[in-house]
Structure 1
Amino acid sequence: MGISPSSHETLMSSNKCVCCNRSYWILFEREHFSHGACRWAFRGTYNGDGKHGGSKCVAKVFKAKVARHYNNWVPDLAASEQAQRMAKSFNKEHPTSRPIQFITPLICKMDKIGDHGGFLWIRDEDERYVKKQEWVAVEPFIDGEYKKFNSNSGAVLEWSEALAAFSHYTYNASDRELIVCDLQGVRARNYYSLTDPAICSRDQIYGPTDMGATGISQFFEKHRCTQICKYFAKPEIDNSYIVKGLQPKRSSSYTFELTRVQSTANRDFKNRKTLPAISEF
């Protein structure tokens, strides 16, 4: 991968890998290879005496407007852990040809910031994207063609019967309290390996991609049941309460993009079993 001596370096992760119960520290490149509305993504390598030592990873850094403290990563970590628990239950109760798995990230504190490189007399630290004492999330690099299957605002981008059913399953299994969506990752021959899920919940406790009750409504506005999920619980829509002007986005949506009417609807439907109606007009 060509990680240079001036790469960024973390301390040992604060949590342990779920598959080998080991902590790792990370070296990652100064230049990102991808980014979204909230995060930069960098190629890196795991370091440590566990089975992942020396293998490729992706380090994700919150952009400054979202903040980069440990507490900012807690909801993301909770969303990944909750999604994986529900995937295990779904795989057991409704087995398909491709079991679903979610990657649980490691959370690491920055230790050393690489220099700018270039001329020998320029040795100042490269703080364009990350600084010392900030926190980053680390995941394995997923080989294969990366796809986004659905978004957290109702868009269906790549049809998968199993993943559509899984999102519906999470609403059913949580007693209508949440839905796991924004499903993205690699569809391999024998499994789905997914990363960065969003959870839309009535309590809005799952971070900047938790769009609350209106996010749940938008999913069901576009969802069409499969043979797997046709008997699952379906939401009761309160057609006397219509949130207008909401259109499903292909990319992830964030809480700082919520309209005033969405925020009001989320508060109004926090403790109800019904959901608001959604209109694009």
Structure 2
Amino acid sequence: MPRNCSSCNRGLSKDCFSKNQWSKGIGYSRCHACINPGSKKVDASQTARTNNATHATFTSHALDNPFAEGSFRWVAKGVYDRGNRTGEPCVCKWFKTGGVLEAHFYDTDLSTVKEALRIITKWNSNNFVDKIVKINQPAVWTFENDGRQDFAGKKVLQEPFIKAIKILCDLQGGVYQDGVVLTDPVVCSIPRTYGPTDLGLQGMNSFFANHTCNEFCRSNWKTIRNPLRCHSASKGTTMEHVPTRRSRPHMSMGNIYE
């Protein structure tokens, strides 16, 4: 049952109040944002969840049978075997379609994550919720040449595995006891600098046309007035078509290194 905050008068769920404030009852409870106004210092290193390892191994079965897929990438599960995350699960991601533009797609992926990291770090600094939101920061790793030839030297996106996958619009990730970890962000910009998923102004219009504000939104944030629905809401990521040859390789046993 929602309750209005006695300070900002927003109708909020119980999670938006501390146990102490909720116990004060209707008309006296103040939400987290009003109890802790302003910003706190959070830097990118606190927001980013990195590989923190230098080597990982994937079985042939894992690569032949990706456990997940997105609109345009396969995902296989492996395990880190060198570095601080030794023994922890990890994933590698590669494009369903290859070709000469694959390296460019990886560059734009990393650029998109960097921009998303900046935005989420700013979100964390503003103390909107009482938990920190993190984002997986992948790196481009390469399969070693001593594996099977059909996968040797192939570049992939490497990042830590996320448990309890949930979908929130186009943000994928896991909900943990102490926070949330996100992966595969999409950033839309007017100059369309963030790769094939950057749908530019049309993407921004479609987002706001389908968006309904909630307790985490602020009235002073910039929005698009009278947005147009340029894309229908659908499952998965909308990607601008770029002609490339189809080249899903036969997966193979192999190690990868950074």
The alpha-carbon deviation at position 140 of structure 1 amounts to 0.7
Q: Which amino acid aligns with 1:217?
A: N
Q: Determine the C-alpha separation between the residues in 2 that align with 1:21 and 1:146.
A: 18
Corresponding residue number in structure 1 for 2:154: 134
Q: Determine the C-alpha separation between the residues in 2 that align with 1:57 and 1:73.
A: 18
Q: Determine the C-alpha separation between the residues in 2 that align with 1:146 and 1:212.
A: 27
Corresponding residue number in structure 1 for 2:44: none
Corresponding residue number in structure 1 for 2:232: 247
Correspondent of 1:236 among 225, 230, 249 = 225
User: Is 2:47 the counterpart of 1:28?
Assistant: no
Corresponding residue number in structure 1 for 2:175: 187
Unaligned 5+ residue runs, structure 2?
1-47, 243-258
Corresponding residue number in structure 1 for 2:72: 38
Larger Rg over CA atoms:
2
Question: 1:206-235 CA distances to partner (integer Å, 9 max, x unpaired)?
Answer: 112111111111110011222332311221
> Relative to 1, partners in 2 of residues 1:33 and 1:68: Cα closer, same or farther, differing over 3 Å?
farther
Matched residue SS, 1:72: helix
> Relative to 1, partners in 2 of residues 1:66 and 1:135: Cα closer, same or farther, differing over 3 Å?
same
The alpha-carbon deviation at position 95 of structure 1 amounts to 3.0
Question: 1:123-148 CA distances to partner (integer Å, 9 max, x unpaired)?
Answer: xx4x3xxx3332101111112x2111
The alpha-carbon deviation at position 85 of structure 1 amounts to 1.9
Q: Is the 8 A contact 1:56 1:140 kept in 2?
A: yes
Q: What's the % identity of the aligned pairs?
A: 26
Correspondent of 1:214 among 189, 202, 207 = 202
| Equivalenced residues, count | 190
Q: Is the 8 A contact 1:69 1:134 kept in 2?
A: no
Q: Is the 8 A contact 2:50 2:138 kept in 1?
A: no
User: Is 2:100 the counterpart of 1:73?
Assistant: no
Q: Determine the C-alpha separation between the residues in 2 that align with 1:136 and 1:20.
A: 15
Question: 1:186-223 CA distances to partner (integer Å, 9 max, x unpaired)?
Answer: 12233111110111111111112111111111110011
Q: Which amino acid aligns with 2:167?
A: K
Q: Is the 8 A contact 1:68 1:136 kept in 2?
A: no
The alpha-carbon deviation at position 54 of structure 1 amounts to 2.7
Tell me the TM-score normalized by structure 2.
Answer: 0.65
Matches within 5 A, 1:139-154: 139-143=159-163, 145-150=164-169
Correspondent of 1:227 among 203, 212, 215 = 215
> Relative to 1, partners in 2 of residues 1:55 and 1:243: Cα closer, same or farther, differing over 3 Å?
closer
The alpha-carbon deviation at position 23 of structure 1 amounts to 5.1
> Relative to 1, partners in 2 of residues 1:34 and 1:189: Cα closer, same or farther, differing over 3 Å?
same
Matched residue SS, 2:74: strand
Q: Which amino acid aligns with 1:24?
A: T
Matches within 5 A, 1:139-178: 139-143=159-163, 145-150=164-169
The alpha-carbon deviation at position 22 of structure 1 amounts to 5.1
Corresponding residue number in structure 2 for 1:9: none
Q: Determine the C-alpha separation between the residues in 2 that align with 1:142 and 1:75.
A: 22
Corresponding residue number in structure 2 for 1:100: 133
Q: Determine the C-alpha separation between the residues in 2 that align with 1:243 and 1:226.
A: 20
Q: Which amino acid aligns with 2:75?
A: A
Corresponding residue number in structure 1 for 2:241: 256
User: Is 2:82 the counterpart of 1:52?
Assistant: no
Unaligned 5+ residue runs, structure 1?
1-17, 116-124, 151-181, 258-281
Q: Determine the C-alpha separation between the residues in 1 that align with 2:99 and 2:213.
A: 35
Structure of higher RCO (CA pairs closer than 8 Å, 6+ residues apart)? 2
The alpha-carbon deviation at position 72 of structure 1 amounts to 2.3
Corresponding residue number in structure 1 for 2:122: 89
Question: 1:159-208 CA distances to partner (integer Å, 9 max, x unpaired)?
Answer: xxxxxxxxxxxxxxxxxxxxxxx111112233111110111111111112
Tell me the TM-score normalized by structure 1.
Answer: 0.60
